[in-house]
């Protein structure tokens, strides 16, 4: 293959070449099997000609390719959508300020959901733990913490002395 033909193929690989040049590219591929550029040229030509052996050429050229993403983009160029983008109505800053903020009325929560929330907030005695009582103290819910420790006293009678001391500490914090 002449240098000038090879240089034009390198500069413009998407240009179709004739069969004699294809044979010459294949000869170059056999002569220089580790040249990525020659493998890419044969792959591009196979994709342009819708060659039957395209998958074989693709697998071989992907083996020798350094960057497979670049190889993918050379075979499948990005398709730019020709759809016109819809332009949004552009408002000036003053127009945004003049619009009333209450276009849509705010929805009020239903009474049923409020009742469910209230019932979910109530504490369950069987879920009371020392950690929960400590969280109540950290959050400042001292009355709930005292109630939790009273439940724990009944639940764990062996630790009732410890819980009684903690109740006294909480009462001193309150006062």
Give me the pLDDT at residue 139, please.
92
Q: What is the pLDDT of residues 30-42, one digit of tens each?
A: 888 888 888 888 8
pLDDT per residue as tens digits for the range 24-67: 888 888 888 888 888 888 888 888 888 888 889 888 888 888 88
103 assigned to some structural domain: no
Task: Tell me how many domains the chain contains.
Answer: 2
Same domain, residue pair 7 and 68? yes
Domain of 157 in residue numbering reads as: 124-174
Mean pLDDT of the chain: 80
Q: What confidence score (pLDDT) does residue 90 get?
A: 62
DSSP 81-115: P-PPPPPPPP--HHHHHHS-S-SSPPPPPPHHHHH
pLDDT tops 60 at residue 111: yes
Name the domain boundary from 37, 59, 75: 75
CA distances from 68 to 26, 72, 143 (A): 21, 6, 66
Instruction: Please identify, among 75, 93, 113, the residue that sits at the C-terminal boundary of a domain.
Output: 75
Within a domain: residue 143? yes
Q: Is residue 113 part of a domain?
A: no
Note the pLDDT of residue 150: 94
CB atoms within 10 A of CB 77: 9
| Domain end point (choices 13, 47, 75) | 75
Q: Are residues 10 and 68 in the same domain?
A: yes
Q: What whole-number distance in Å separates Cα of residue 117 and Cα of residue 138?
A: 23
Whether 57 maps to a domain, the answer reads: yes
Do 8 and 71 share a domain, yes or no? yes
Contact assessment for residue 158 and residue 174, using Cβ atoms and an 8 Å cutoff:
no
Is there a domain that residue 9 lies in?
yes
pLDDT tens profile 129-146: 999 999 999 999 999 999
Q: Is residue 116 part of a domain?
A: no
- Structural contact between residues 73 and 83, judged by C-beta atoms closer than 8 angstroms: no
pLDDT of 84: 52
In a domain, 105, yes or no: no
pLDDT tens-place string over residues 71-110? 888 888 777 655 555 555 566 667 766 666 556 666 666 6
């Amino acid at each position: 293959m002449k240098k000038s033909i090879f240089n034009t193929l390198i500069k413009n690989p998407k240009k179709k070449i004739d069969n004699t040049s294809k044979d010459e590219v294949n000869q170059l591929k056999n002569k220089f099997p580790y040249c990525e550029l020659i493998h890419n040229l044969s792959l591009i030509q196979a994709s342009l000609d819708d060659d039957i052996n395209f998958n074989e050429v693709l697998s071989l050229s992907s083996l020798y390719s350094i960057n497979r993403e670049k190889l993918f983009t050379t075979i499948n160029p990005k398709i730019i959508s020709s759809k016109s983008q819809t332009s949004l109505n552009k408002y000036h800053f003053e127009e945004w300020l003049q619009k009333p903020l209450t276009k849509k009325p705010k929805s009020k929560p239903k009474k049923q959901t409020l009742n469910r929330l209230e019932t979910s907030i109530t504490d369950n005695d069987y879920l009371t733990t020392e950690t929960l009582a400590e969280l109540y103290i950290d959050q400042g819910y001292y009355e709930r913490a005292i109630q939790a420790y009273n439940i724990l006293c009944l639940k764990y009678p062996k630790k009732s002395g410890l819980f009684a001391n903690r109740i006294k500490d909480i009462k001193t914090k309150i006062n």
